[in-house]
Amino acid sequence: MTTASYKPAELLICTASRLMDDNATAFIGTGIPMLAASLAQRMHAPNLVAIFEFGGTGAILEELPLAVGGESTFHRAIAAAGICDVMETAQRGFIEYGFLGGAQIDPYGNLNSTVIGDFRKPKVRLPGSGGGNDVGSLCWQTIAIMRHDRRRFVQQVDFVTTPGYLSGPGAREAAGLPPGTGPYRVVSNLAVLGYHPDLKRMMLLATQPGVSVEEVVENTGFELVIPDHVDTNPPPTSEELRILREEVDRDHYYI
C-alpha cells in the first residue's frame, strides 16, 4: 500500500533503504544513510551489518545515532573497534557497500566534498573527505545520495575528493585501486542512476514518482546514458513511512 503524502527526504531514505541487502556489510555515514540503514533493519534486512567510521560494527539501530561516533552506533554491536580497524576491514575487502554524499558528482561518479572553485582560492570551502576517500577507494560498491540539479551533477568536479571511475574504463585499476570496486548507484530526489558496464558513465535506471526522463536530463549537467527502458521507482509504502516516522526518527531529528 502506498501513500502520496511524503516528504522529499523520506523518499530518499526509503529509496536508499531498499538498496541495502540482508546479510550485507555497509559503511554508513551521517544523516540519510543512518535512517536508511535503520529502516532496512526493520523492513527487510534484519541481518544488515552497519559499520560506522568510529568503529561500531554490526550495531542494532534501535536508537537513531546523531553522529558516526555516537553510543547508538555501538549498541549490541559485534565489535567496538576504531577508525583504523574499520578502514583496514574495507581495505581487506570485507565491506560491500559504502554510502557517500558530496557537493558535486561527475559522469564517472567522482565526488567532490572539498572545495567549489580553485583549490587555493575557493569560492566555497567544504567539509573535506573525512572517510569519503577511503570508502570510495576500498568498498566494493558505493552509493551516492544527493539532491539533483546542474550545480551538483557536473561535467567535471572542481576537486576529486572521492574517486569514482576517474576518467573511464580501466582508470581505477591504473591508479592502483582494487579491481572490481567502484560506484554502483546514485539516489537523488529525481532518479535512481547506475553506471554503464562498459563505458563506466552514469546511466539512468529509474525516475522517482512523478518525474519524467526529460526532467532528469534537464537537471543534469552532462550527457546521461539513457537505456531503451527506464523504470519508475515506486513511492514509499505506508508501512515504510509508519516505521520511519514512529520508530526510526520518532524524535524528528532529521524529518
Which residues belong to the active site?
53
Residue 162 has which C-alpha cell? 572521492
- The CA distance from 112 to 15, in Å, is 23
- Quick one: which of 110, 111, 113 has its CA closest to 125? 113
* Adjacent-strand bridge partners of 79: 57
- Helices of type H across 44-163: 83-91, 132-138
Name the strand (E) or helix (H) holding 39: helix 32-43
- The CA distance from 158 to 202, in Å, is 18
